[in-house]
Amino acid sequence: MPHVLQHVLFPLERDPDILPLYADPETWTTIRKQPVQVSSEAHVNDILSRTSYRIRKGQRVSFASYFNAFPAAYWQRWTVVDAVRLTLRTSGPGTVIVYRSNAQGVQQRVDSTAVEGTQEIGFDLPVQAFGDGGWYWFDVVAGDTDVIIEGGDWSTGVDPVRTGRTSLGITTFNKPDYCVQTLATLAGADEVLAEIDTIYVVDQGDQKVADRPEFPDARDRLGEQLRIVDQPNLGGSGGFSRAMTETIDAGRSDFLLLLDDDVEIEPESIYRSVQFSRFCRKPTIVGSHMFDLLDKPILHAFSETVDLLYFVWRSALPKQMRHDFRRSNLRQTPWMHQRLDPDYNGWWMCMIPTEVIREIGLSIPVFIKWDDAEYALRAREHGYGTVSLPGSALWHVSWVDKDDSQDWQAYYHARNRLLSGLLHSPHPKSGKLLSNSGRIDLKHLLTMQYYAATLRHRAIRDLLKGPEHLHRTMATTMPELRAATADFVETQLITKAEDMPSTWEGKRLFPEDFDTEPRGPRLALFTLKAAARHWRTPVPQGNIDRPQVELAKADAAWWRVPAYDSVLISNADGRGKSVYRRDRTTFRRLWKESRELHRELEKNWDRLAQEYRAALPEFTSPEAWRRTFTSQQ
């Protein structure tokens, strides 16, 4: 009996913005006349249902798209599947053409067949020559009348390695509207629900999911498959660890799918993640991609890596960031045809086999930041790989309009990056991690972000205390960090126009090509001059009483702000502005502190690495996490 791996499908809502993710608009052209590109809005009405689509007479539509092409290279590399069958149910006269690509994105015709009337057609396709990359897809060309795709799927006759069910773990903090919408979407996805054992909603906020007026309907439709778990706010790592604990204690699931709360799901992506996980040769972490919820055709994350020398996360390819499918679909994007194997996948949507959880433990107890990356690095050390599966994705509120490296989250950025380095860096004395961390401190200080620098120093002090601080401070650190904002002028957001201070020099604008980030010898000279100025030069009283200049967020680059004594800068989401004011005494104190703390951490690095690595199995164990859950009740 064939096993369906993925369905041919179309958007739940007839949204013209996301139609390019399901069909390629650049082939919506007439055949007998001069080809012209047709806008996607003209074809929204051709979506007849979730599984059916109309190709109007004389037109050609390609389904070389994110959600309807088949990522053959990933199935070849990671699974036991060596052949797939494309099945299409059509009505009307026309032609179906099957294509494949190689790792360079070169298109190759594989097969074709004429269709007419109502019929089912199939193409048997080997999954054996996609070592470095490549996809399968199909085009449909309509004849003298419309052709309707009534339905279709990609399937295999190979049996899966595993057949167990999946549980879902959704962690939420005061995002009840998003969460209830996710539950409602799941309640309407019968094929997905058939694969799910339990949906755990770990609610850590004071705006409860269960209090939303839409919740009772979703609860009644999901029935016993839904379980709400209330607990104090322990961050993403605490919420997801609770879902891991509940799942392994229940003992009924082979997989746990972690889902963020501020998302919009494509239910088919869950189905595909389950199928891919079942067919993997060995237990594998299967992650999904992230599109921008506020700009839906924008791909925000495709394949993530960790640079082990600097121990910093980044995209595998710079050009994958913010890729716009309206401008360049699958066939027009050669890099997307490479098979990219990530170091980790974000926990906005990530499937973890319960076998892996039982062997390597739960998340590190770090509240937020680096929990997902560290977990995948730990899994790799145990022999378990990570896949970011094309064709499986959700829409998530992106961090384009955020700059959490300078708010209370600066603590977690610093501590958890250093902690992950202690646990997994292959380099003595951290490689270049500590020197880079010191430079980040100096950037914060030169741009008058004294609050962020202060939190980063607290992070190092906490890390020097050893592993025992991790669980003990889980619930208390974040409130303390937020309370500390009262002591720093740059953390005070001015939102009312009447409270906005005027500046001596007005608003300064910088043309795009005005200057560039200093690098190499120029960077060394810039740093020397800027640091000397902030160390030696007193701040005139006039620039204390009133900001010297106003800068837009985009213009407030780290190499521009140090030239001023005080700056009025917009925040990332545009809700208001803050005053950044130079303070020579604070600069001197924090820079000395930074150098001393980094020297101490470097001196003790190898010892601390041994301590944290030895303690890792204990502080990621279900038993340790259960004690934390119990202590917070």
Show which residues are catalytic.
372
Spatial contact of 529 and 484, defined as CB atoms under 8 Å apart: no
Question: From residue 262, how far is each of 102, 300, 306, 398 by CA, in Å?
Answer: 36, 15, 25, 10
Of the candidates 137, 151, 141, the one whose C-alpha atom is nearest the C-alpha of residue 116 is: 141
Tokens encoding 568: 């009025």
Number of Cβ within a 10 Å radius of residue 196: 21
Of the candidates 366, 369, 359, 370, the one whose C-alpha atom is nearest the C-alpha of residue 409 is: 369
Of the candidates 331, 370, 376, the one whose C-alpha atom is nearest the C-alpha of residue 351 is: 376
Tokens encoding 541: 């009283």
Residue ranges with strand state E in 127-206: 136-142, 147-156, 165-172, 196-203
What is the DSSP code (8-state) at residue 302?
Answer: S
Length of the chain: 633
> Quick one: three-class SS letters along 235-257?
HHHHHHHHHHHHHHHHCCEEEEE
Name residue 79's beta-bridge partners: 280
Three-state SS at 537: coil
Query: Exposed (0-12), middle (13-18) or buried (19+): which is 431, by Cβ within 10 Å?
Result: middle
Rounded CA separation 103/143 (Å): 33
Spatial contact of 54 and 147, defined as CB atoms under 8 Å apart: yes
Give every CB contact of residue 59 below 8 A, 6+ residues apart in sequence: 28, 29, 30, 31, 141, 142
107-115 vs 263-265, strand pairing mode: unpaired
User: What one-letter code names the amino acid at 247?
Assistant: T
Tokens encoding 505: 């020099």
Rounded CA separation 380/487 (Å): 43
Spatial contact of 310 and 433, defined as CB atoms under 8 Å apart: yes
Of the candidates 142, 89, 91, 135, the one whose C-alpha atom is nearest the C-alpha of residue 110 is: 135
Q: What are phi and psi of 433, to 5 degrees?
A: -60, -50
What is the separation, in whole angstroms, between the first and last Cα of the chain? Answer: 49
Rounded CA separation 258/288 (Å): 10
